Each structure stands twice: as C-alpha cells, then as structure tokens.
Structure 1
Amino acid sequence: MSVYCLSQDAGRLVALLSNSATEEQFVARFVSRKYGSASEGRRLLEWAIQSELVQFDGPNVQPAVFTEAYSSWRSQRGMLADETRTRLFGQAIAAQCKPGTVAIDVGAGSGILSLFAARAGARKVYALELTSMIEDATQIASDNGFSDRITFIKGDATKFSAPEPVDLIFSEWAGMYLIDEYRHFDAFCQVRDRYLKPSGIALPGSASIYIAPIDNSQLYTERGFGFWKKPVHGFDFSVAESRQLAAPRRIIVEARPSSLLGEYKLRSFDCKTDQSSEFFFETEFVHRFEADGACHGFIGYFDLELAPGIVINTSPYSKLTHWQQSYLPIEEIFATAGDELHVKVKTYVDPLFASAMMELTVSVIGSGERAPRTYLYPIDNSYS
C-alpha cells in the first residue's frame, strides 16, 4: 500500500471501509476501483483494524467511524477559529434557547454549541458525540461550570433514547459543499423526528446550495486542467490531463468574486421537515453569455439560516469561512455573446463508496456550440 494512494483518497477509502460488510467485500471493491492489488487492500484493512477505524464481529467488519477525523483538536480548532461560523451559531442558539429549554446537540464535537445553550439558560442539553472528543468536551463543560446541565453521551446518535421530548435540536452538519456529510444530517433528522416537540425548533432552520459558472484562467491553470496545456519542464504531460478529465475532483478554494458569471440556486432545504434524501436531486439551469468570454468550471457554495435574520453565507461575496468554496473544474469553454451554457445537475450517493456525488452535464448552444460532456465529482471528505 503506497502512502500516496492513502493520502490522496483517504476520505473515500474510509467510506469504503464503512460500507463493506466483510473483508473480502472490501478487498474486491478496493481492486475494482483500481486503488491497488488484493494484497495491498488486505494490508490497508489490517492497518484500519490496528488504527481502530473498524473492528471485527465474528467474520464481519463493523462500520468505520467516518467522523473520526473530528476527534482531533486540529479539526476542532479550525472550526472554533472560524469566527463567523462560531459567533453566528452562538447568536442563533442564544436567540432560540430560553431559560428552561431542553435541547439535543447532534455531533457535539468540542461541545461549543452545547456550551452556548447552557449559557443561554437551557435546563438540560443532551450532547451526542460519536468520537473520543467527548472526553475533552466533558472536561471543558465541567471546567466552565456546566456539567450539571450538559449530559454528554458517546455513541451513534440514531440509537440515542431521550428521556423527554425536547424544545430545540441543533447541529453543525454542513460539509464543505453542504451535502458532503449527508450521513450527519441523516442522524440529525432521525433524532429530530423522534424527540423534537411539534412546537420545537430545528437549528439550522433552513439551507440552500448554489452554483456559479466562472471565467478564471488563472484558477484553471493553477488548480484546474489548464496546468497540463503547456509542457511541464519541457515534457508533454497531456496524458495526465485526459486522466484527470476522466476522474475530476472537487477542489477547495477561495474564489474571486469578480470571476463569477452568475449565481444559480440548486435547491433549498427545510431542516425541520426535510430528510437527507432531499440532498439528492436533479435540476438544470441555463446561463446566457452577455459578452465574449470563457467558462473554466463552477464554484459551489451554500448558506445556512440558523435562526430568523441570522445567516451563514459561504458565497465568495461574503466573509471567508473555513468552508471556503468548492471549485468544480471542467475543460475550458470559449463562448461568444448570446451563447447559452446548459448545465444539468444530478446529485446522488455512490453505491460503492456511499459518498455524495455531483454529476454535471455541460453543453453550449450558439456559435461556440459544444456537445454535452459529463463530469462526475465526489463531494465527500476528500478534496484537493
């Protein structure tokens, strides 16, 4: 097993571990996806067991804890240091949490959201956390005088039995392009449907996902397929471009607002009533070029309405957050004024890896006509 293979695709490999019932099933899937040989797949599985990503129960492999990445303070610090994210969640919880409120925090992590609720007067917060981070979160609550009002419970949130219905359920389940962590949102929905009072509040209350075509030759050259258009140190690497075009990846970037050609809302979600299945949909949009130009891919972002009037917006036009934006590169398209860019969007769960996927079928109608071409991007915990 090469370190390169593991580091480049760790998120998808962990997802593969999570959804393989037996050792042989994992190895077969590992080989089918051309990650390596069967012997390399077995060595990876042995490493995963030793690292406690998975465990055996008789002949079967128990699901991996794909969220274990969040058990490190490196990850938690990055989220805590996102001033916009943390401040607005704190404001929203303070607005929705009244003295006497009973709440559930799904995926508590460091416990920061539970601390906000306790500080706002919650009578009881059930903080559910799957990873070993719960140990430090419990200590932090105690150090801050809230151990009597925050009860930390380690384990799968979907198996949690609440002793009472709750007034408020909150969670920060948004992935880098919102739908990445659909399993976290699914856990949120299951707990919400079982224990939130009919008059209760879900936080966030709603979310929307957006996409924008971009004209940015610099980004295309530095992070997209344009890198391969010129000789690399004097050598022809065009085969690398064809390989990457066949298996494009989502890239996390800080997008330049001036490069956006337009903005298109793909879907909105009601976090009090919708299920995780709503994250998977088909839609389409048409962008008309107002002037001669080019398209070098798409920028994806989202917003979260945490409470009325309190919104986190990850658009390039807003203050940068740790989510940044998602760059979905395509082959460079040149267009003239009046040409139409037609984009069909489909999101679904990869049946092999159980990761979220976004499929874009892109064509141009007009003088710069371009036949439809389909790009398939994993929208999961691995990104370039």
Structure 2
Amino acid sequence: MAHSESSSGILDTASDAGWEDVESDDDSQPIVGLFSTTVYPDVHSMLKESRDRHNFDLVKVKKELDLDLIETIKLVNYIRSQVKAGNLQPNVSSKSLFDEDLYLKPTLEDDALLYNLEDLEDDVGTVGNTKQNAEKQVVELQEELDRLQGQFSEYRSAVQRSMTEQLSLEDETVVPDPATGLETVDKAREADLDYFSSYSYNAIHESMLKDAVRTDAYRDFIYDNKHLFKDKVVLDVGCGTGILSMFCAKAEAKLVIAVDNSSIIEKAREIVYENGFGNVIRCIHGKIEEVSLPVSKVDIIVSEWMGYGLLFEAMLDSVLWARDHYLTPGGLMVPSHVTLRISPFADSDLVCSQISFWKSVYGFKMSSMLTNIYDEVLVSPAKPSSVAADSVVFLQLPLHTASVEELTFVKDVEVTLTKDIHELDGWVVWFDVFFMPSHTSLIPEDAVPSHMKRQGYVAFTTGPDGPETHWQQCLLLINHGKDAVAIKKGQVIKVQVGYRKKEEKSRSLDIEMQWDEGDAGKGSQRWSLQ
C-alpha cells in the first residue's frame, strides 16, 4: 500500500531526532490562515487577521477553555476541518466538541501552526502581558519548552496510533483466499466502507431532510404521541444529523442513544449540543452490532432505514438486529409496518428518453451506451398516467416480528390492466410506510396510507400518486427484443417477483421477475440496484 511522504515521515522512528529540534531557527515561519488559504509570515499576523476579519480569537478561546497543548492541537484541527466543510463559524463553546482523537491527525498537511502553538502565549493582541524579568522569562520558557517537548512526544505517539489503526482498517479489506492462499480484496467490506463514507457528506442528508413527506411523518408521529416517548429510553439507529433524536428529546424522552457508523456523527454531536439536548441525547460512533450502549434495554427504536426499492442498502438488517438485542418486550418500533407494491406501466416517452436517446446523440450513434442498460433499476418518478393497473402489495413487513430471512423472498401476485396499452414497457415498484402506536397494532393486508391517515394514523407513500419523495420509484424496464404487442384492458397478468442480495453481506439488491401476459406472451428478467 502506497503512502505519502508526509505520513511515512510521522511513522518513521528513524526521524525521532527531529522532534527534539522541532523549533526552526527562523522565527518567521509562514502560517496558513485558519479561515482561508492565505499564508501569513508568522503566527501573530495570522492571529490578528483571524480576530479582525473573522471575529475569532484563538488565544482567548484557548484561555477560556483552559486548553493544554494537546487540546489546542485538537482545537486547531477541528477548526480547520469545520472550515474545510464550509462552516466559517465553528462552534467552540465546549472542549467536548473537539475531544475526539481524530482531531489529533492534522487536517492541513505540514501545518506549521501546530509547531508554533507556544507562540500563542506571546501574542500581544490578546494576552497583553507586561514585561517580566528577563532571567525569570528564560527559566519559564525553558520549563515550557521541556513541557512542550513531552507533549509533542505524546502527540506524535497519538498520531502514530491513529494512523496505524486507520491503515489496519484499510488493510483488512485485503484477505487471503482460502482456496489459493493469495490475497484478495474483501469486496463486501470495501463496499461497506464506501457506504458509510457516502453518508459523511452534507448533500445526502440535505436531500433527506428536505423530503418533507419523510421528515414530517416522523415528526408528526413523535409529537402526536408524546405520551409514548415521555420518560422513555429511545435508540436511534443510523441517526445521521440527529433530527429524529431531537424530535424524541423534544417529546420528553428520558434518554436518546443516537448511533451512526458514518463520520456524520461528529456533526450530529455538535448539532445536539447547539440545540441544548446534550444532557438527553448521547451520540455513539460505530455499527450498532459492534458498539456498547449505556443501557441493556431500550423502550423504543426509531430509525429511517428505508432505501430505494425499500431494501437497497440492507440497513434493515441492522435495525432488526438492534430490535432483537435491545428492545424491551412490548417495546415500540418506529415505523412499525412497511409494504411493497408493484404495478405494470407503459410509457413510450420514458423508454425513448432512456433507450432510444443513445441511438442518435447530436446525429452520432452511441450504441455501446446501451450495453446492460436494461439490467439496472432506474430510480425515477413515474407519471401516474403511465401506471397501467391498480397496484398490489407483494410484501408486508411488520417490524416488530419480521426476520432478516424474510428479506429474501419470491412472491406470486396478479394485476389486472385498467386500460389498453401499446405494450408492457416495464414494472414500477414502490413502498408505503406506517406508524402504529403499539407493538400489537395491525394494518390491513392491502393497507393504503391515504385510508390509514383518514383513520388518524400517520403513514406515507413513495408511490406515483403521492407527493414526490427522495426515494421516487423503482422502474424496471423490460428488454423485449421483439415487436410491440398491445394488451387490452382487463387482461390479468400473473407475476412472480423476488428480492435477494447480490451476494452475501452485500448492500446491493437484485430484483427478479417472471410474468405471464396471456396471449401477449411470457417474460422474465433480472434487474440490479447497486
């Protein structure tokens, strides 16, 4: 595995002697600004610019929080990471915000500021020290130097430990093949790392939070049922930004345990404190299957685990694991039920935009782009007018009793066309979500969110007849390879639909179908979500 010179320099024990002489003979070592890429001739000018232009006083924060050198290093790396993420006003109200060891690793490569932090005490812009006896200053500086050298040694060791742990995690994706003894890439673990990494960025959380159908449903159920949450212990699996945890805290939960394996948990922790819930919500970084919770049982599990086509990403596996290990008997799952629906669709415009488009792009043929194009699930909104039959439920999952084994299945259903179509262009799949107030609550086999809402329950659909959600629908385009065959209204189509993971421990999903259109013929096809 290749490493940069900067990382190998930290880990190379042969370069230890350099740490004793870490101070340069040049007192004017260039410093990169905390809030910009501007390079300043020394620490003092950088600090002055931070105060004047960004209203941030590093020395003042250091003194107010009573930070030692290691904590100051964490503060600097924390500020740089926040600025890098686009936050020019990082929250520094408490040292707990940057107390994680990950802030020992420099955010900025070769950050000269980290080696000049002792100069903060001499910054006349804030400290305003009076002249002291020269001999006393020499003694104090020597003592300070001895202390700093010891702390730099600690810092070096901490960075080395952090990087070694990270490298070991990366190396774990390479494993010996039992059959050949040769090292191979553990694709499942690699995909797992990529999955959690994807949730580290703002865009995906912005998309989910702006999905009012999704977020309003959770908020409405929690706020409308505060009596269920009051004084209860709640577990939020895959908490993201912590929005659901804060809903629960506002509903007077006694303790909310927010767990996420993505680095978004660091921002969630800041958000929790920023909104005054630090004494109620405890954020924990890691997989729910691997972390230690501060309690043995919880009263409620809340999670927004649904993926495209419902089961893409396989997060439900973890939620059910948490239920089996932590939910007290009679405890509540939020949401409580989900159903999967399917309907045939006919939409020549959609087929043209997805398939025929590549046959002539600005007058050029791009036939190679059509390779495997029918093998992938298309996540896109379906026009209600393109849906050719009343949808049917092909899977109902009651979250209080469902098992992981039930997430791999083959189901038989029938649909009846409600209009004439030029041909069957494909299938549209979506899911509905229900929030019931008790672990004993049931929903009808063919439950419809609009009907349940009229009865006073919270529910929502991701189908084409409802407001659009970030899940949209899954469109399964059929590769006919033949001339179009019209089908008349009233035709019954027998369908067998199956879901399974692409491979063991995979977060990808294969959907396989067989169907019988009567006189129009039969078909079968497999599509992948990955």
**TM-score where L is the length of structure 2:** 0.57
1:133 corresponds, among 264, 287, 298, to 264
Distance 1:176 1:70 in 2: 15
Q: Is the 8 A contact 2:343 2:415 kept in 1?
A: no
Change (3 A) 1:327 1:290: closer
Q: What's the CA shift for 1:343? A: 2.4
Judged with a 3 Å threshold, the aligned counterparts in structure 2 of structure 1 residues 233 and 269 are, in CA distance, closer, same or farther, namely same
How far 1:226 sits from its partner (Å)?
A: 4.2
Per the alignment, residue 356 of structure 1 pairs with 509
Distance 1:299 1:53 in 2: 43
The structure 1 segments of at least 4 consecutive aligned residues displaced by more than 6 Å after TM superposition are: none
Aligned to 2:384: 257
Alignment equivalent of 2:222, drawn from 77, 82, 93: 93
Q: Deviations over 1:296-336 (max 9, x none)?
A: 11111101112351112111111111111111111355233
Other structure's SS at 2:289 match: helix
3-state DSSP of counterpart to 2:171? strand
Q: SS state of the match for residue 206, structure 2?
A: helix
Deviations 1:217-253 (A, max 9, x none): 1111112x3445x655556666754x336x5111111
Please name the residue that 2:252 is paired with: 121
Q: Does 1:271 align with 2:421?
A: no
The question of 1:378 aligning with 2:528 is answered: yes
Task: Give CA deviations for 1:119-172 in whole Å, capped at 9, x if unaligned.
Answer: 100110111110111111001100111011111111110123332311100100
1:101 Cα deviation (Å)?
0.8
TM superposition shift of 1:361: 2.0
- Match for 1:329 among 464, 477, 482? 477
1:111 aligns with 2:226: no
Higher percent of residues as strand: 1
The residue type paired with residue 252 of structure 1 is V
Please identify which structure carries the higher helix content: 2
Q: Whole-Å Cα distance in 2 between the matches of residues 214 and 53 of structure 1?
A: 49
Cα deviation per residue 1:167-214 (whole Å; 9 max; x = unaligned)? 1001000002101022x1111111111111112100110100111111
8 Å contact kept, 2:514–2:522: no
1:338-357 pair list within 5 angstroms: 339-351=491-503, 354=506, 355-357=508-510
Measure the CA separation in 2 of the matches of 1:176 and 1:351.
18
Return the match for 1:56 from 143, 155, 171.
171
Retained in 1: the 8 A contact 2:388–2:418?
A: no
Q: Which amino acid aligns with 1:145?
A: G
Q: Which residue of 2 aligns with 1:67?
A: 196
2:291 aligns with 160
| Stretch moving more, 201-210 or 269-278 | 269-278
In structure 2, C-alpha distance between the alignment counterparts of 1:272 and 1:58, rounded to whole Å: 34
Number of equivalences: 323
* 8 Å Cα contact 1:179/1:379 also seen in 2: no
Structure 1 vs Structure 2 CA RMSD = 2.6
Contact kept in structure 2, 1:289 and 1:335, CA below 8 Å: no
Q: What 5-or-longer segments of structure 1 have no aligned partner?
A: 1-50
Which residue of 1 is the match for residue 340 of structure 2? Answer: 209
Amino acid at match of 1:277: E
In structure 2, relative to structure 1, the CA distance for the partners of 1:150 and 1:204 (3 Å cut) is same
Judging changes above 3 Å, is the alpha-carbon distance between structure 1 residues 189 and 218 closer, same or farther for their aligned structure 2 residues? Answer: same
Q: Determine the C-alpha separation between the residues in 2 that align with 1:273 and 1:160.
A: 24
SS at match of 2:397: strand
2:435 matched residue in structure 1: 306
Decide whether the 8 Å contact of 2:337 with 2:435 is kept in 1.
yes
TM-aligned CA deviation for residue 74 of structure 1: 0.9
Matched residue type, 2:230: P
For 2:380 and 2:434, locate their aligned partners in 1 and report how far apart those are by CA, in whole Å.
23
Give, in angstroms, the shift of residue 57 of structure 1: 4.0
1:286 matched residue in structure 2: 414
Structure 2 CA distance, aligned partners of 1:53 and 1:256?
49
Deviations 1:27-79 (A, max 9, x none): xxxxxxxxxxxxxxxxxxxxxxxx98961149636724222211111111111
Tell whether the 8 Å contact from 1:306 to 1:312 is kept in structure 2 after alignment.
no
CA contact (8 A) 1:288 1:340 kept: yes
**What corresponds to 2:115 in structure 1?**
none
CA 1:325 to 1:196, structure 2 compared with 1: closer, same or farther past 3 Å? same
Deviates more, 1:297-306 or 1:329-338: 329-338
Once residues 178 and 141 of structure 1 are traced to their aligned partners in structure 2, the CA distance between those partners, rounded to angstroms, is 29
Looking at both structures, which has the greater relative contact order when contacts are Cα pairs under 8 Å and sequence separation is at least 6? Answer: 1
2:518 to 361, 365, 378: 365
Q: Does 1:176 align with 2:308?
A: yes
User: 1:57–1:180: structure 2 CA closer, same or farther, 3 Å change rule?
Assistant: closer
CA distance change for structure 1 residues 125 and 289 in 2, over 3 Å: closer, same or farther? Answer: closer
Give the whole-Å Cα distance in 2 for the aligned partners of 1:237 and 1:57: 40
8 Å CA contact 2:388, 2:419 repeated in 1: no
Change (3 A) 1:302 1:290: closer
Structure 2: gaps spanning 5 or more residues = 1-165, 176-184, 438-456
Cα gap change, 1:255/1:290 in structure 2, threshold over 3 Å: closer, same or farther? closer
CA distance in 1, matches of 2:435, 2:372: 37
Corresponding residue to 1:221 among 352, 362, 365: 352
- Relative distance call for 1:227 and 1:277 in structure 2 (3 A) is farther
Cα gap change, 1:200/1:290 in structure 2, threshold over 3 Å: closer, same or farther?
closer
Conserved? CA contact 2:239–2:260, under 8 Å: yes
Q: What is the CA–CA distance in structure 2 between the aligned matches of 1:238 and 1:52, rounded to whole Å?
A: 43
